[in-house]
Amino acid sequence: MSPYVIREGRRIEVETLDTGIVPKKRREPFKAQWVKLPRRWIEVLRRTKSASTKQLAMEILTEVFKREQIGGEIVLSATVTKLLHSTRMRAAKELVELGLIETEQKGRQAIRVSHVYYYNKNRE
């Protein structure tokens, strides 16, 4: 069945022309297939009972790997973490208290990870 358009009350058949022009395909965003999980992070994260803190930790490690490949800074936005604001803030604070990351925040902007500790802070 061919598509039609209506012009001045009359139905007109429309043909599709093949111009040979192919629309550009959008490049898929970078997705890490795997990330490194430092043993220290495993040991430290065992101390927390919060699933949100563990989820945020995994997202941070994914972002670290991604940033090593494409550059940029780690921003803990709702889009990246898929966590509510209050949950994200509490989980980030707990990761700082556990000594796994350092963060910075300017005003009401999203939290940025300024440093990730793979080893004990005293050794770095």
| Boundaries of every domain in the chain | 39-116
Total count of residues recorded for the chain = 124
User: Is 74 buried (19+), middle (13-18) or exposed (0-12) by CB count in 10 A?
Assistant: buried
Confidence (pLDDT) at 69: 82
- pTM (predicted TM-score): 0.72
Q: What is the pLDDT of residues 23-75, one digit of tens each?
A: 888 888 878 788 889 999 999 999 999 999 999 999 999 999 888 888 889 99
- Quote the CA–CA distance of 79 and 7 in Å, as a whole number: 46
CATH 1.10.10 is right for the domain spanning 39-116 = yes
